[in-house]
């Protein structure tokens, strides 16, 4: 059995510090808060403490330990960021009280008391659209149905319904100010 390394950790650290930077560079790690560097330093210290000369060179063990600890930290950080994004998305959905939040359905604002009675406005819109485009306006905009519900009701694909919506937007894009002037009370 070979003797354990006789150098102090400080001496070994001075000789091997660049290994940490090397692995951070190879893994594409941006480390403004030096969290990954500290993790690499800790990995080097742990490798120094556990090193068994019979199992191979110290440099190889440092490389293995540092690289794997950095990869573990990347995975942990990525998982934390993903969980945080999910929490933020859920909180935004709760605050916004939207119609749907992923698979979670939230109540819509009570539309009682909201009436769409300006027949002149809607007749003007309808006159500029094809039958399917008007269906999109009627069902999606006015009645608040989802694209999937409209597609199912009309017996067409969801992509077809989306296409109707795109065409409506194109046709009415230039008409926005004109339609707005008809709709807004003067």
Query: Which residue, chain included where needed, has tokens 């119609």?
Result: 99
pLDDT > 90? residue 144: no
Give the CATH architecture of domain 119-183. Orthogonal Bundle (1.10)
Give the whole-angstrom CA distance, residue 64 versus residue 5: 18
pLDDT value at residue 1: 41
How do residues 58-68 score in pLDDT, each as one tens digit?
Answer: 888 899 999 99
Concatenate the DSSP letters of all residues of 80-141 into one string: HHHHHHHHHHHHHHHHHT-SEETTEE-PPPP-TT-----HHHHHHHHHTS-HHHHHHIIIII
Whole-number pLDDT of residue 84: 93
What confidence score (pLDDT) does residue 4 get? Answer: 52
Residue 98 has pLDDT above 80, yes or no: no
SS3 state at 185: coil
Q: How does pLDDT run across 34-44, given as a tens digit for each residue?
A: 999 999 999 99
Q: Start-end ranges of CATH 1.10.10.10 in the chain?
A: 119-183
Residue 100 has pLDDT above 70, yes or no: no
């Amino acid at each position: 059995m070979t003797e354990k390394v006789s150098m102090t950790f400080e001496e070994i650290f001075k000789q091997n510090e660049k290994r940490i930077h090397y692995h951070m560079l190879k893994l594409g790690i941006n480390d403004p808060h030096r969290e990954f560097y500290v993790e690499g330093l800790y990995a080097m210290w742990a490798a120094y403490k556990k090193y068994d000369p019979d199992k191979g060179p110290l440099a190889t063990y440092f490389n293995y330990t540092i690289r794997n600890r950095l990869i573990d930290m990347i995975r942990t950080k990525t998982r934390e960021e993903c969980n945080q994004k999910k929490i933020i998305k859920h909180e935004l959905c709760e605050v916004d009280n939207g119609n749907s939040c992923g698979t979670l359905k939230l109540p819509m604002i009570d539309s009682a008391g909201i009436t769409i009675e300006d027949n002149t406005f809607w007749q003007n819109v309808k006159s500029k659209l094809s039958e399917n485009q008007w269906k999109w306006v009627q069902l999606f905009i006015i009645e608040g149905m989802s694209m999937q519900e409209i597609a199912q009701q009309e017996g067409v694909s969801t992509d077809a319904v989306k296409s109707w919506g795109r065409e409506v937007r194109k046709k009415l894009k230039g008409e926005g100010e004109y339609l707005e002037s008809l709709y807004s009370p003067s």
